[in-house]
Structure formats: structure tokens, C-alpha cells
């Protein structure tokens, strides 16, 4: 997919380089970057992804989504500056994965306790009624009966969109999700 397409729902502050580059993948982890990927530099609580831009470029990133433009730019790499990469990454990942959330009926379960239990019960119930269903939880993710182990309690926006896209590809109609309380406000605001 062309970078220009991925930026349709993002308001760049500055773009250095060609928007006509092909993007083969998206990552927020510089260690997972491959040739043709878009690296998203996020300022996290533990570390700042901007520190790993050079490593991502070295591994083959053709574009970088960032908040702070580096002093030195690598030739052949497109740099897209935005106000918040944390806000932009979900929008970019959604487009890259084909907008999978619009092709499923999503059931988000929020609260303090029992989210995973309720989401799993819904998943099991829908399956018993003969529907193809996905489950995103803190324990394990499932796509129509096939287990996908989790590495984090909450998938990042890229991983979430990939999971939803796989659910769509597997013919799932529904997906239930154990949504952490801190994300429940964001989900209400997302189209």
C-alpha cells in the first residue's frame, strides 16, 4: 500500500521525502522492521521510539512516522511528522489492514473485574450458535477456535488490527474483546 493512502486519516505537520513509497508492513518495534516497512516512533513510558529510528532505517524502513524530526535524514527514507504518533498509529494500522473493525460486529467488555470471563463466555456462546467468532483477551486470543497466545495484556493498535483482519479473513462475523478500563474511553470515541 502506498504511504499516501495510509496517511489519509492523519494530519501531518511536515513530510520530508516521497509519499509515493510502497509500505509493506508497519511496526512500533524497531527490531521487527523489514525492508519496505513503516516505523512508528512512539514516546512510551519506558523508552522513546525516536531513539531507534536509525536502527529501523538500517533494517530497511522506507518511511518513519514521528513527532520530532531528526537533525539528519537518511536519503531514500520518507519522514512524516505528526503531533502524536500514539494517536496516528491506530489510524494508519486500520487502513493498512483494510479497516477490519468495520467488517465485524464487535462486542467490547469493560469494567474492573470479570472482563475476560464475560468476553470468553460470549465467544463460546456465539460459537455454540454456529457463528464464526474471534476473541481478544488477556489470556489468549482465538480466531474461530484456533488459539493465538498473547504476549501482552493489551494488543497495540497494529497487532489489534492484524488480529481483526485475520478474523475477517477466517470468516468471523463477531469478535468479543476484554477491553482494559483505560482503553474503554478511547473505544467509545473511535468510529
Residue 189 has pLDDT above 50, yes or no: no
Amino acid 152: pLDDT = 78
Average pLDDT of the chain to the nearest whole number:
91
The domains located in the chain, with CATH, are 3-96 (3.40.1390.10), 100-189 (3.40.1190.10)
* Helix axes 85-96 and 157-169, enclosed angle (nearest 10): 20
Its pTM stands at 0.87
List of residues 6+ apart from 173 with CB closer than 8 A: 104, 105, 131, 132, 133
pLDDT in tens, 86-111: 999 999 999 999 999 999 999 888 88
- For the segment 6-34, what is each residue's pLDDT rounded down to a tens digit? 999 999 999 999 999 999 999 999 999 99
Q: If DSSP states are collapsed to H, E and C, what string results for the chain?
A: CEHHHHCCCCCCCEEECCCCCECCEEECCHHHCCCCEEEECCECCCCEHHHHHHHHHHCCCCEEEECCCCCCCCCCCEEEECCCHHHHHHHHHHHHCCCHHHHCEEEEECCCCCHHHHHHHHHHHHHHCCCCEEEECCCEEEECCEEEECCCCCCCHHHHHHHHHHHHHCCCCEEEEECCHHHHHHHHHCC
pLDDT in tens, 119-162: 999 999 999 999 999 999 888 999 999 999 888 778 899 999 99
Amino acid at each position: 500500500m502506498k504511504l499516501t493512502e495510509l496517511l489519509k486519516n492523519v494530519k501531518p505537520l511536515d513530510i520530508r521525502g516521497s509519499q509515493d513509497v510502497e509500505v509493506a508492513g508497519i511496526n512500533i518495534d524497531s527490531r521487527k522492521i523489514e525492508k519496505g516497512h513503516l516505523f512508528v516512533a512512539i514516546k512510551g513510558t519506558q523508552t522513546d521510539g525516536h531513539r531507534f529510528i536509525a536502527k529501523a532505517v538500517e533494517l530497511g524502513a522506507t518511511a518513519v512516522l514521528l513527532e520530532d524530526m531528526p537533525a539528519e535524514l537518511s536519503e531514500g527514507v520518507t519522514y512524516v511528522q505528526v503531533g502524536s504518533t500514539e494517536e496516528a498509529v491506530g489510524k494508519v494500522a486500520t487502513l493498512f489492514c483494510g479497516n477490519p473493525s468495520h467488517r465485524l460486529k464487535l462486542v467490547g467488555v469493560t469494567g474492573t473485574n470479570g472482563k475476560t470471563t464475560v468476553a470468553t463466555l460470549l465467544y463460546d456462546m456465539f460459537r455454540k450458535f454456529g457463528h464464526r467468532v474471534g476473541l481478544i483477551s488477556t489470556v489468549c486470543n482465538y480466531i474461530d477456535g484456533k488459539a493465538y497466545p498473547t504476549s501482552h495484556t493489551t494488543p497495540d493498535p497494529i497487532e489489534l488490527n492484524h488480529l481483526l483482519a485475520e478474523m475477517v479473513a477466517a470468516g468471523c462475523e463477531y469478535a468479543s474483546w476484554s477491553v482494559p478500563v483505560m482503553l474503554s474511553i478511547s473505544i467509545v470515541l473511535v468510529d
